[in-house]
Amino acid sequence: MFNSLFDHVDSIIVRDPAARNRLEVITCYPGLHAVWLHRVSHFLWNLGLKWIARLMSMFARFLTGIEIHPGAKIGRRVFLDHGLGIVIGETTEIGDDCTIYQGVTLGGTSLYKGMKRHPTLGKGVVISAGAKVLGGFTVGDGARVGSNAVALKEIPPGATAVGIPARVLHPDLPQSADTKTKEYFSAYGVTPNVDDPVSMALKGLIDATIEQEAKIAALESMIAKLSNTPTDVSGTSDTKRDLDAIKEWLKE
């Protein structure tokens, strides 16, 4: 039991640079306390002591600011970082080594009892601050949900979902569900070298438009030389300047 406890604590130290030692994590991390209390309430829930389990979960909520339904299944080394405002629904399943930040909701979109209403997180998933994952779908191993995103459908393993509703990005870095390896851990779901697909599409359209404007300007110049008449390219340069300004705005 103590080996499992210290394994959990050590995994938090790896993922949080603010954590200095085991004593600090054990005494000062409400996310850890919430998971420990949930283990007890989940045990009571499975024994059929539903009311006592719910009462303990309410006590844990009062103590930590984190609401976890006693029916939820939580794997090993799950880290609720900061934790305040996290809500985890009854049929939620969270895999090993997941990291969930403050203000996250793992909620349901159905009102029917006895069915899978809440999401299933694979191993090594990162759910960023303020994100909402709503529905009985699966978030694949090593996937990330960006801050304040609203995920309403399945997210493939190793992908990043951003926006409202969440759009799926595919990172160009290797992924690993082993969060003990710092090299691949992505705090707050930030993925380097990945851009929003809508921004990428707009940039592609702008580049194509600039290229077309350049070709038109070259054709007008050739026609002017053949006809010995001056060419007014000010409109073309103004268009190029405007498009360049839009590209710079998209990069920010």
What is the average pLDDT across 176-182?
44
Q: Which of 175, 194, 213 is the last residue of a domain?
A: 194
Read off the pLDDT of residues 221-248 as tens digits, 9 standing for 90 and up: 777 777 775 555 555 566 666 666 666 6
Total of domains in the chain:
2
Instruction: Give the CATH number for residue 40.
Output: 2.160.10.10
Same domain, 120 and 223: no
Domain co-membership, 178 together with 136: yes
End residue of a domain, out of 194, 212, 237:
194
Mean pLDDT in residue range 22-37: 92
Say yes or no: 46 and 136 in one domain: yes
Domain co-membership, 152 together with 108: yes
Same domain (yes/no): 133, 73: yes
Say whether both 15 and 123 belong to one domain: yes
Question: Do 157 and 78 share a structural domain?
Answer: yes
- Same structural domain for residues 124 and 232? no
Secondary structure of the chain as H, E, C letters:
CHHHHHHHHHHHHHHCCCCCCHHHHHHHCHHHHHHHHHHHHHHHHHCCCHHHHHHHHHHHHHHHCCEECCCCEECCCCEECCCCCCEECCCCEECCCCEECCCCEEECCCCCCCCCCCCEECCCCEECCCCEEECCCEECCCCEECCCCEECCCECCCCEEECCCCEEECCCCCCCCCCCCHHHCCHHHCCCCCCCHHHHHHHHHHHHHHHHHHHHHHHHHHHHHHHCCCCCCHHHHHHHHHHHHHHHHHHC
Indicate if 57 and 19 belong to the same structural domain: yes
179 and 225 together in one domain: no
Mean per-residue pLDDT over the chain, rounded: 81
235 and 188 in a common domain:
no
- The reported pLDDT for the residue numbered 88 is 95
Which domain, by its residues, includes 236?
198-251
